[in-house]
Structure 1
Amino acid sequence: MTAEASVDTGRIVLLTASHRVAPGLLSWPAWQALRSADRVCCADEAHPQLPYLREAGVTVEPGVPGAEELVAVCAGGRTVVVVTSGAGESPLTDGLARLAGSGRVAMPGLELLPGSYDLPGARLLDLVEVMDRIRRECPWSSRQTHRGLAKYGIEEAYELVEAIEDGDRTELREELGDVLLQVVFHARIAEEDAGEPFSVDDVAATIVEKLIHRHPHVFGDEKAETPEEVKAHWLRTKAIEKQRESVTDGVPLGQPGLALAAKLASRVRTAGLDVAVPAGEDVGYELLALAVAAEAVGTDPEAALRAAARAYRDAVRAAEGLGGRAAGG
């Protein structure tokens, strides 16, 4: 082995940390690298990790040396940790890549060390942050109200259903985002209410509490082996929570007619009530009877009618000499 080959060229560690995780909450390998490094540096003097590193006794030098200087610093087996701040390190990494490609310099080892990772759902924090800024700075968004946005909630829900029925995975992902936006937007508006403000965290806390309470077979001691038993648990806990007088209480009457009829029929059947379907000569009663019959055999009459309507649309387009999907869905 030659003397040149035996030289320890050292190590450069690029330490990353998620901005969605509280500063100072770093992994044990990250803390080990920081404490054992010969030098720690950071280009961003306002980096949120710096106060916590200094509190832990880690000396952080302001600024990051250029590529050639950094390679020279590492010579002799030294380790330099660079606390990264996103795109700010691209000149450094580009410079290191050029040096390595030149073949002129014995390069130190280069390691990318994640100091913290995003947990599932972490990108929701980005959505909340973006929505907060839009609410403050956008002339249109800053003037919106719950009532004014209501129609968009309905539209987005229908577009989501259409994406599901079309089986379009790309469209499904986008429409789920649009529905989620409505939730975050309304929650952001609710924060400004003078009388009863609440935030998106309150919204999330409410649904978490509800889900836990209505799933005692998951979070409690009760047992449920079948979907029917799960539904029975759900209905029992819901009835206790709401303390409703009628099984029809809580059914939104403003929903589409077939869906409304099916929902009422489902409530009646689940409650074990013997209620005759009203009869009449109006076409509405015929539709009601069809919806009740469909629900009884597990068919969603609203979805069934949409499927039939799409077939009708395709027939119309065929008669017009057209093909494929109609513009605008």
Structure 2
Amino acid sequence: MTVSTDAPRSPEPSSDIARLVEIMAWLRTPGKGCPWDLEQSFETIAPYTIEEAYEVADAITRGDFSELKDELGDLLLQVVFHARMAEERGLFAFPDVVRAITEKLIRRHPHVFGSARDLPPDAVKALWGEIKREEKRQKAEARAKAGLPPLAEGGVLSGIPAALPGLTRALKLQDKAGQVGFDWNNVDSVLDKIVEEANEIVAARRAGEGTSAIAGEIGDLLFAVVNLARHLDIDPEAALRATNAKFERRFGVIEDRLAAAGRKPAEASLDEMDALWNEAKAAERAAKQAG
């Protein structure tokens, strides 16, 4: 892909990915581009990349597909931005990113593009793991041939990014441990663990333990709840986002009802707000049943 860095006076929008790559190149061209874009680096852009991914997830949770279109564009821009900075360093370019992911998709789906056809979901998941292990082995061989030192060998739980949200990282840690047999046998055992962890919080408070100790117990409880979600095939991060949205929606009803009476939440009692909360909850249930 040949990228021009000579920006026209009024570049036109386009559905061609090449145009997006060109615009990013223009923005990063010294003396011609955007001062803010020019001073960015991988490190400064990374937080925006994470933020945009969350905004995509938020649009999906809200069912706002017009917003989803825009948020996906913002996330795509992050990919193009990182690729442009890499190209400037002579590392790789956007076409290399596209080629890498297309190669990976074809390689990891032999049940679609190869001879391993008609596999059930569990067999597909097992095959995926085998392919990833083979990829890791090939990368190690390539590094050895290039005279590069081997990557540090990690344990079962290695390779899970520390920057992941806490719930998501807990889910991945548990999943990896479960793959080698370190797991609860059934959902009831996980529920018992949740009760145990909740009781430990109660005991810690009664014993007058400090904030740090209680925080540790709360972390254990959250970890156990994530484990319950995993055993029930529920994404804990998505579940919490949905509950956050529900809380915002119902509290908004409280604010609206109080505002209609010329009042604010700070001017209402807890009992009043609790009653309005229950009304909002009942209205949602009735609407759901009617739908």
TM normalised by structure 1 equals: 0.56
Partner of 1:198: 92
Q: Which amino acid aligns with 1:133?
A: W
Percent of matched pairs sharing the same residue: 43
Cα drift, residue 272 of structure 1: 4.4
RMSD over aligned Cα, in angstroms?
Answer: 2.7
Partner of 1:219: 113
Q: Which amino acid aligns with 1:126?
A: R
1:264–1:232 CA distance, 2 compared to 1 (3 A): same
1:295 to 219, 230, 243: 230
Alpha-carbon distance between aligned partners in 1 of 2:110 and 2:119, rounded to the nearest angstrom: 12
Bigger fraction of residues in helix? 2
Structure-to-structure mapping, 1:269-288, within 5 angstroms: 269=178, 271-275=179-183, 281=200, 282-288=217-223
Q: Does 1:152 align with 2:48?
A: yes
Q: Which amino acid aligns with 2:135?
A: E
1:266 to 175, 192, 205: 175
TM normalised by structure 2 equals: 0.63
Cα drift, residue 170 of structure 1: 0.9
1:125–1:264 CA distance, 2 compared to 1 (3 A): same
Q: Which amino acid aligns with 1:173?
A: K
Alpha-carbon distance between aligned partners in 2 of 1:259 and 1:227, rounded to the nearest angstrom: 22
Cα drift, residue 252 of structure 1: 1.3
Bigger fraction of residues in strand? 1
1:168 to 64, 87, 92: 64
Partner of 2:28: 135
Cα drift, residue 304 of structure 1: 0.8
Structure-to-structure mapping, 1:57-72, within 5 angstroms: none
Alpha-carbon deviations, 1:86-105, whole Å to 9, x = none? xxxxxxxxxxxxxxxxxxxx
Cα drift, residue 322 of structure 1: 6.3
Alpha-carbon distance between aligned partners in 2 of 1:175 and 1:147, rounded to the nearest angstrom: 21
Local SS of the residue matching 1:155: helix
1:221–1:152 CA distance, 2 compared to 1 (3 A): same
Alpha-carbon deviations, 1:145-173, whole Å to 9, x = none? 11110111011001000111111111111
Alpha-carbon distance between aligned partners in 2 of 1:236 and 1:223, rounded to the nearest angstrom: 16
Local SS of the residue matching 1:252: coil
- Number of corresponding residues: 203
Cα drift, residue 312 of structure 1: 1.5
Local SS of the residue matching 2:88: coil
Q: Is the 8 A contact 1:224 1:230 kept in 2?
A: no
Q: Does 1:228 align with 2:163?
A: no
Cα drift, residue 315 of structure 1: 2.6
1:322–1:190 CA distance, 2 compared to 1 (3 A): farther
Partner of 2:253: 318
Q: Is the 8 A contact 2:61 2:241 kept in 1?
A: no
Partner of 1:125: 18
Partner of 1:305: 240
1:253 to 136, 141, 162: 162
Alpha-carbon distance between aligned partners in 1 of 2:63 and 2:254, rounded to the nearest angstrom: 26
Where does the alignment leave 5 or more consecutive residues of structure 1 unmatched? 1-19, 21-120, 324-329
Local SS of the residue matching 1:174: helix
Where does the alignment leave 5 or more consecutive residues of structure 2 unmatched? 2-13, 138-152, 185-189, 201-216, 259-291
Using CA pairs under 8 Å that are at least 6 residues apart, name the structure with larger relative contact order, 1 or 2. 1
Q: Which amino acid aligns with 1:296?
A: H
1:197–1:290 CA distance, 2 compared to 1 (3 A): same
